Amino acid sequence: MAAPADPVTGLTPQQEAFAQAVASGLSLFAAYHQAYNVSPDTLPNSVYPSASLLASSPKVALRIKTLRADLQAAVAEKRVWDALRMIDEAEVNLTGARADHEWASANGSLALIGRVTGLTEQKSSGGGTVAITKVTVVLSSRVEPLILEGTVIEEREALEAGGQDSEDV
C-alpha cells in the first residue's frame, strides 16, 4: 500500500523527498535514486524518464519551486546578517587601527565598510581596478569651520601671491 499524501502539499513522502533533493541542487536522476531507493543495478534509461515525468507533474513542480524560493529567502536573510556582521567587525578594526595609529589598516577597514555598504564599488577595466567612491557628506559643526577656514586661507594665499594685502580678506 502506498504511503498517504501530505494533507498540505498532496505529495507522498517519496515525492516530497524527491522535491527537497531537487530543490537542494541534486540532479533529477540523483534525486529520484535517493527518494525512491533505486537499486544501483537499475538501468539509467529507466530512471531518467521517471524522474523527468515526476519533476514535471504539477504538484511536484510547485513544491520544488516553493522549496527553492524558501531556500533563496533563507540565503538572502543570512547575507543581510553577514553584511551587518562585517560592518560591525570592520568598525571594531577601524577603532583599533586608529588607536594604534595604523593608518593603512584603518584605511583598509574604511574601504571594507564602503564596499559592504555600497558607498564604494570596484570597477575593473582592462588595465586594472579602480575604486569609485560615491559618498554623501554630512558636515558636523566641528568640520564645517575647518573647511571654511581652509577656504579663507587659500583665498589669502591667492591674494598674497597676487600682491594684495591679506587684511582685505
Q: How many helices (H) and strands (E) does the chain have?
A: 6, 2
DSSP codes, 18-48: HHHHHHTT--HHHHHHHHTT--TTS-HHHHH
pTM assigned to the model = 0.47
Rounded Cα distance, 60 and 56, in Å: 7
Query: Over its length of 169 residues, how does the chain's per-residue pLDDT go in tens digits?
Result: 567 778 888 899 999 999 999 999 999 999 999 999 998 888 889 899 999 999 999 999 999 999 999 988 888 777 666 778 888 888 899 899 899 989 888 888 888 888 887 777 666 666 665 555 555 455 455 555 555 655 555 666 666 776 554 444 4
